[in-house]
Chain A
Amino acid sequence: MSQKNRLDGGLIDRSETYSFRFDSKYHKGHKGDTLASALLANGVRLMGRSFKYHRPRGVMTAGSEEPNAIVELREGARKEPNTRATTAELFDGLRAESQNRWPSLAFDAMAVNDLLSPFLTAGFYYKTFMWPAAFWEKLYEPIIRRAAGLGSLSTQDDPDSYDKGFLHCDILVIGGGPAGLAAALTAGESGARVILADEDFLIGGRLNLETYVLGETSGTDWACETTARLAAMPNVRVMPRTTVIGAFDHGIYGAVERVSDHLKVPEDGKPRQILWRVYSKRAILCAGATERPIVFENNDRPGIMQASAIRAYANRWATTPARQVAIFTNNDDGHRTATDLVAKGVEVVSVIDARIDAPTSSDYDVIAGGVIDQTWGRLGLTQIEVKMPRGGIRRIKCGALGVSGGWNPNVHLTCHQRRRPVWNEALSAFVPGGTMPVGMSVSGAANGVFSTHGALTSGAEAAKAALSDLGMTAKSPSLPKAEDAPVNITPFWHVKTAKRAWVDQQNDVTSKDIKLAHQENFRSVEHLKRYTTLGMATDQGKTSNIAGLAIMAEVAGKSIPEVGTTIFRPPYTPTAMGVFAGRAWGTATRPTRLTPSHKWAEEQGAVFTEAGLWLRAQWYPKPGEKNWRESCDREVLQTRRSVGICDVTSLGKIDVQGKDAAAFLNKVYCNGFAKLAIGKVRYGLMLREDGMVMDDGTAARMADDHFVVTTTTAHAVGVYRHMEFVHQCLWPDMDVQIISTTDAWAQFAVAGPNSRALLYKIVDAEFDLSNEAFPFMACSEVTICGGLRARLFRISFSGELAYEIAVPTRYGDALIRRLMAAGEEFDVVPYGLEALNVMRIEKGHATANELNGTTTALNLGMGRMVSKVKDSIGSIMSERPGLNEDDTLKLVGLKPVNPDHQVPAGAHLMTKGAKVNAVNDQGYVTSACYSPNLGHHIALGFLRTGDARMGEVIRLVSPLMGVDHDVEVVSAHFLDPEGDRLRA
C-alpha cells in the first residue's frame, strides 16, 4: 500500500504528488516532503549501511545534522554522494541510491565486518597491515581503498554552473526560527537593511515542527505570516534554502544558496547554487539547537531516532516511522513527542524516563528510572528491552524509539575563529562563550534559551541592541504570547553496562573506542577525535561530539568542561566544491587577454600558446607542413632572409612622465638613463633590492619629460607594481607620474633586411627612415597610412635590422593586414613565439629563462651595466662578495660536438671525467633550440667562469632525460656577433 505510514495534517501539499525511486523501488510522496519523510511515509526505515561495520541504518534526525540516511542523489553527471535525505527536497522524478553496500541494502556482504568488530576498533589500521611490508602497496592498500569511503563519484564533469555573489546589510540574521524571525522583524521594521537566511525551504525553524500556539494562531501560521511580512519589506531580503556556512573576518559570512537543488535540473542559464559573501555590520546567530541522543546497547537500529525528529515528522510531514513508538528520555522534552504522537493517533507504547522523578501521564505509560538495556531487529527495530528501576527486564514491542538526551545549542559559528564555547551546568550543554566574532550576537536556543517565549524576546532584544550599536532607533514589534517551559534535565549520557553502543554513527565510533583511546593515552579531546575519528564524518559529529566528550570525561575522571571541545571550522555543513569555484573553472579560471591581431591570426590558422594571461601565436602553419618545427624553421629563415612580423603587444608598456622621469628611471634601472637623448631608446636592466636581476626591457625617451618603458610580458604587472612602490614609498618627492598603456597600443615587430623597405610603404613620407636619420635605437612619434598617429622604435630582439611600430589598439587589426599586404613583394612572413625565441637564442639575448631570479647582472655578462656613479635599486647589494666570486656563473653559448645531438634546457654541465654530482656541477642550460641558420641545436646557459672557457669541450648531463654527451663552450652570440645586421 502506498504511503502506509502517512498521518493527517502536516505542511505537505497533497494536491501535488511526486513519484520517486530509492534503490530499485518506486514510491510516491508530496510537495513539501523531504526524501527522508517520503521514505518513512512509505514504510521504509532502512536507508543506509554504516561506514565500517556495514550495519543496517535508518534516518535518525529531521535536519542537516543527519548521520545515517545519506544517499547518492540524482543520476549521471549530476550524481552527488553523501546527500542527506533529511534535507533533500522531494521533486517529481527524484532518483536516489543508498551507499556503502553490496550487493544491496537489505543484503550487504560487507556486513561480515560487523562480525570482525573486535579487530576493527579505533586505530586498528595503526596496528595491522604492517607485515609483510611488501604487501602494503599491492594488496592491503587496494583492498582498504575499495572498502573505505561512503558514496561514489560520477567521475564526470559537473554540468551545472555555480555563482559567487556579494551582499551587504546592516544586520544578518542567521536562522529563521522564532528568535530569527523576531530579530528580523524588529530590525526590518526599524528600517535597517536586513538579510534573513535559513537552511530550510520553509522559514520558521521549530515553529513548523511543533504544535505551539503563538498568541491566537499556530506557530506555523505565525511563521508563515511573519515571513510574508518580511519579504514584502524592500529593506529585507529573505533567503530560504541558504546555509550560512561560516563566520569569517570583519563581519563577513559565507552563505550557500541552493537555487536549483529542489528542481530536477536547473533552469537554463541559472546556477545550481550561489556562494554569497555577506558583508554585515552586525550578525545575530539564531541557529537553534540540536537534540542529542543517549548511548545504549545497539542504539543504532533503523527506527531509533531523535525524539524531536519523530514528532517533527509527525507534525510537519504527516508521517511516522512506525505505528508503535517508544521514547527514551532524560528530560521533559522527550514527553512532548509522546503527547504529539498520541494526538496524531500513533500508539506510544512506553516512555522510558531515566529520571526517578519523571512526570507521569494519563495518555501513555511512563517507566521512571528505567534505561534501555537491549534492542532487537536487524533491518529495523522490532523490540526493546528495558532494565526496570526495581530490577528485571521488560520487553516492549515497537517499530521506532525516540531518544532525547537533551539539546545542544548550535554554537558553531561563534567558534569559527578559534573561540570555545562554555559549559552550562543547568542545561548540561555548551553555550556560546564570552567573546564572539566581531559584530556577532546570539539569541534563542543557540544561546541556551530554549522556550519559544525566550526565543522571541531574546531575538528582538538582540536586534534592538544591534540597531542601537548602529545608531538606529529600534521599533519594538508586537510579539505574540508563547510557551515558556523551563528546562528540566538530569544528565544521562550512556548506559554504562552497554557493550556495543554507538556514539558517532556515521564513522561507526563506539563507547568502547573512546575508552580504548583513553587507555592508549590519546586523552586530549583533539587526539580523541583523530584517534577514534569521532566527529570526523560528513556530519561533523553534530549528534555525537558531546556524548563522546562526556564518556571521555567520565573515563578520565574529569568534568566535561575540563575535557573541552575540539576546534570548530567552516563549513557548517558539507558544501559542493563547485560553489567555491563559481564560474572560475576550465578556461574561465582566469581572464584571457587577446592581442590586437588575434582575429587575423586565427584566420591564418595560427597555433596559440598561453603567455601569462595572453594568447600569443606560437607559429603559423602553412598547408603541407608536418610539424611545428617546419613552420618555425621557415619563419626564422624567411625573417632573416627578408622580413617577418610578430605581434609584441603583450610586452608591458609603462608611460613615465614628469620633471623627474629620467631621475626616477635612473633609480629603477641599474644602468644610466639620466642622459638618454630625446628620440633614443636604451636597453635597461632592473635589479631587485638584493641585487638579483628582476626584469629587463627598454625605455624610449619621447620628450624630456616623457618615457615609454617596456617590460617582459610575464613581468609587466610586477614591474608596474614595483615602480608604483618605488614612487609612493621610496622617492615620494620625485615629480613622476606612471600609468600602464600595455592594452592601449598595438605593437608589431618588423624584422629582417627588408624591414626598412616595408616600413617605407607604411610610414608617411615626411618621416626619414634612413639609417642616418633613424639609426639603431632611435624612436619617434610618426604617422602612418595617411595620418594615423603611431610610434616607431628601432629596436631588435631578433638581431636583424628591425623596428617596432605601435598604433592605438583599435587599428592593430588593420595594421597587420596592411603590413602583410605591403610586404607581399618581400615575401613577408608572420612569425610566432617559437621563431622569436629561436632568433633571440641565435643572437644571445636573455629572457625569463636567464632572468630566473637567481642570476645577477654579472652572471648575464652585464656586470659593467650596473653603474657605480649613481645609486639605483640593487646596486649596493649586487656588490656582495658572494655574488662576485672568481668562479661565478657566466652566460655562454653551447653547441653539441656531435651535430646530431640536442642541448636540452635544464641539463647540467659537468667537468669531463669527474663524477656526476652537485659538487662537480659547473652550470646549467637555460634556453635551447634548433637553429635553422646554423643547421644544428644550440643553447644558452650559465657556466662557472664561462667567459674564460671559450672553446672548451665539457660534459652535458641530464640523468632525468638520459642525456650524456659533449658540448663546446662558445660565445652566446651565435650570429652576427659584431651587430652589423642590426645597424644596417
Chain B
Amino acid sequence: MHDLAPIHALGGADRRSDTEGDVTLTENLGLALASVAARRGHEAACRAHLGALLEGAAPEPGKTVLHDPEASFWMGPDQWMVGALFESHEDLAVQLKARFEETASITEQTDGWVCFDMRGDGVEAVMQLCCNLDIEQMQIGDATRTTIHYIGVYVLRRDPANWLRILGPRSSAGSLHHALTAAMKAAL
C-alpha cells in the first residue's frame, strides 16, 4: 500500500461545506470517474455492457442513470461518464476495461473533476444566477453540460429533486466554488 496522502480539489485536508439559507454546498470527495467511449463497430456491444453494468439501459442524451454502486451520464454520441464510490472503485478504469474489453476506450477521469453537491430548497434560484439551464424544467435523472461563469460543467439532477450534482474541472475548483457560493449568497 502506498503512503502518499491525497488532498482535496479545494486544497484542504477537510471536506469543504458551505450553507446559505436552506441550501448547502458540499465538496464530494468520494467519487471515482472514468469515461467510456464506444469503439467503431462495437457501439451496440458497448451499450449492452453499460446497460448490464447499470442493470438497465445506457443513459440517453441528456440523462443520467443513478444506479448503485455505479452511475452514469451521457457525454456525447456513444460516450458516457461512469461514476462510483472512490473507496471501493479507485481502480474504476481498470475494472471497466476488464468488462468492456475491446468494445470501448476507457480513461481514468477521477482527478480531472471536482464534484459539488448542492442540496436544499432554493437550488433553482441559485442556478438561475449560474447558467442558462432551464432549471425549473430539469427533471430528476437529467444530466446536461453547460457553463457556470465561463467554466464548463456537468449538472445532474438527482433524487430528491432538490439535489444537484455539479462536476467541474478540478484545476478550477476554487473559481467554481467561489461562483457557486456567491450565487448562493445572492439568491437566498
Chain A positions near chain B (C-beta within 8 angstroms): 161, 163-168, 193, 268-271, 274, 277, 279, 583-584, 588, 590-595, 598-599, 613-614, 649, 655, 657-660, 705-706, 733-735, 737, 739-746, 783-788, 807-811, 813-815, 818
- Asked if B179 is at the interface (CB within 8 A of a chain A CB), the reply is yes
Q: Mark B19-53, 1 if CB is under 8 A from A, else 0.
A: 01000000000000001011111000000000000
Q: Chain B residues with Cβ under 8 A from A658's Cβ? A: 39-40, 105
In chain A, what residue has the closest Cβ to B183?
A163
In chain A, what residue has the closest Cβ to B132?
A166
Interface SS of chain A:
mixed
Contact B105 A737 (CB under 8 A): yes
Known: A167-B128, A786-B2. A591 touches B176 (CB 8 A): yes
Contact B179 A583 (CB under 8 A): yes
Name 8 interchain pairs, CB-CB below 8 A, sorted by A: A649-B171, A734-B40, A739-B37, A740-B112, A744-B109, A808-B108, A808-B110, A810-B111
Known: A583-B182, A786-B2, A808-B108. A743 touches B170 (CB 8 A): yes
User: Which of A599, A735, A745 has a CB less than 8 Å from the CB of B40?
Assistant: A735
User: Which of B5, B39, B136, B179 has a CB less than 8 Å from the CB of A737?
Assistant: B39
Contact B6 A814 (CB under 8 A): yes
User: Which of A592, A737, A815 has a CB less than 8 Å from the CB of B175?
Assistant: A592
Q: Chain B residues with Cβ under 8 A from A592's Cβ? A: 172, 174-175
Contact B107 A741 (CB under 8 A): yes
How many residues of B are in contact with the other chain, CB < 8 A?
53
- Asked if B85 is at the interface (CB within 8 A of a chain A CB), the reply is no
B128-184 with Cβ < 8 A to chain A:
128-134, 136-137, 149-151, 169-176, 178-179, 182-183
- Asked if B98 is at the interface (CB within 8 A of a chain A CB), the reply is no
State A613–B175 Cα separation when bound (angstroms). 11
Q: Chain B residues with Cβ under 8 A from A655's Cβ? A: 105, 107
Q: A591-B150, A745-B111, A811-B6 are in contact. List 18 more A-B contacts (CB 8 A).
A: A163-B183, A163-B186, A166-B128, A166-B132, A168-B134, A268-B185, A279-B134, A583-B179, A588-B178, A659-B40, A735-B39, A737-B37, A739-B35, A740-B112, A743-B112, A743-B170, A746-B111, A784-B2
Contact B6 A591 (CB under 8 A): no
User: Which of B11, B20, B172 has a CB less than 8 Å from the CB of A591?
Assistant: B172
In chain A, what residue has the closest Cβ to B77?
A728
In chain A, what residue has the closest Cβ to B33?
A744
Minimum C-beta distance from A676 to chain B (A): 18
Q: Chain B residues with Cβ under 8 A from A741's Cβ? A: 107-109, 112
In chain B, what residue has the closest Cβ to A808?
B111
User: Which of B112, B128, B132, B174 has a CB less than 8 Å from the CB of A744?
Assistant: B112
Contact B1 A787 (CB under 8 A): yes
Q: Chain B residues with Cβ under 8 A from A163's Cβ? A: 129, 183, 186
Known: A591-B149, A787-B2. A809 touches B170 (CB 8 A): yes
Minimum C-beta distance from B187 to chain A (A): 8
Q: Chain B residues with Cβ under 8 A from A815's Cβ? A: 4
- Asked if B57 is at the interface (CB within 8 A of a chain A CB), the reply is no
User: Which of B8, B38, B131, B172 has a CB less than 8 Å from the CB of A593?
Assistant: B172
Count chain A CB atoms within 10 A of each CB in B8, B35, B79, B176 and give the residue with the most.
B35
- Asked if B3 is at the interface (CB within 8 A of a chain A CB), the reply is yes
Contact A788 B39 (CB under 8 A): no
Known: A591-B150, A787-B1, A810-B8. A168 touches B170 (CB 8 A): no
Known: A584-B150, A658-B39, A744-B112. A818 touches B4 (CB 8 A): yes
Contact B129 A274 (CB under 8 A): yes
In chain B, what residue has the closest Cβ to A807?
B4
In chain A, what residue has the closest Cβ to B12?
A599
State A322–B40 Cα separation when bound (angstroms). 83
Contact B174 A594 (CB under 8 A): yes
Q: Chain B residues with Cβ under 8 A from A268's Cβ? A: 185
In chain A, what residue has the closest Cβ to B171?
A593
State A655–B185 Cα separation when bound (angstroms). 39
Contact B4 A788 (CB under 8 A): yes
State A733–B41 Cα separation when bound (angstroms). 10
